[in-house]
Amino acid sequence: MQSTVWINCGGSSKRKCKCSKKNMPKPHGWSLHWKKIKRKKKFPKYCSFYVKKPGDKKFTKCINEAELGAHIRRKYKSLNNNQYIVPACKSCNNSKKWSFKLKNNVKKARAVTTYCKK
Ligand SMILES: [Zn+2]
Ligand SMILES: [Zn+2]
């Protein structure tokens, strides 16, 4: 487990990614963004996160399948406030109140449209 704590910033509803095609639902667009930037044909099988829900004492590994590209940013904004996309399951992607840590092998893609690939 990596040490940085992240939160879901749920930017996918507001931001548009140029990787996505016109008629795609937006979360799908951001997963495409991740795949293009990371040069992967498909998502890894599992969600990227360890999860700590309100009331939990520690982080627990999420073993759901990765389906969407979740927007995350650092919980404690000391260094920067960059947003990234990581592969996530539906429940992690919908949870604004949970804290997350990334599994060791997780690759993040910057969630800015200047990184979009045609
Ligand atoms: Zn998950
Ligand atoms: Zn993109």
How far does residue 104's CA lie from ligand 1's centre (Å)?
Answer: 15
Return the pLDDT at 108.
96
- Asked if the structure places residue 80 within a domain, the reply is yes
How far does residue 94's CA lie from ligand 2's centre (Å)?
Answer: 20
Distance CA 16, CA 65 (A): 24
Contacts of 31 (CB under 8 A, 6+ apart): 43, 67, 68, 69, 85, 87
82's enclosing H/E stretch is none
Q: Give the predicted TM-score (pTM) of the model.
A: 0.87
- Asked if the structure places residue 89 within a domain, the reply is yes
Domain count along the chain: 1
Q: Which residue segment(s) compose the domain that 70 sits in?
A: 6-115
- Asked if the structure places residue 86 within a domain, the reply is yes
How far does residue 70's CA lie from ligand 1's centre (Å)?
Answer: 10
How far does residue 16's CA lie from ligand 2's centre (Å)?
Answer: 8
- Asked if the structure places residue 59 within a domain, the reply is yes
Q: What is the DSSP string of 42-57?
A: S--SB--EEEE-TT-S
- Asked if the structure places residue 28 within a domain, the reply is yes
Average pLDDT over residues 8-18: 71
Q: What is the pLDDT of residues 61-105, one digit of tens each?
A: 999 999 989 999 999 877 778 999 999 999 999 998 999 999 999
How far does residue 47's CA lie from ligand 1's centre (Å)?
Answer: 5
- Asked if the structure places residue 110 within a domain, the reply is yes
- Asked if the structure places residue 101 within a domain, the reply is yes
How far does residue 57's CA lie from ligand 2's centre (Å)?
Answer: 36
Neighbours of ion ligand 2 (CB under 5 A): 17, 19, 33, 116
Q: What angle do CA 55, 107, 79 make, to 5 degrees?
A: 65
- Asked if the structure places residue 1 within a domain, the reply is no
Cross-sheet strand order for the sheet of 49-52 = 60-61, 49-52, 99-102, 6-8, 68-74, 84-88, 109-110
How far does residue 87's CA lie from ligand 2's centre (Å)?
Answer: 14
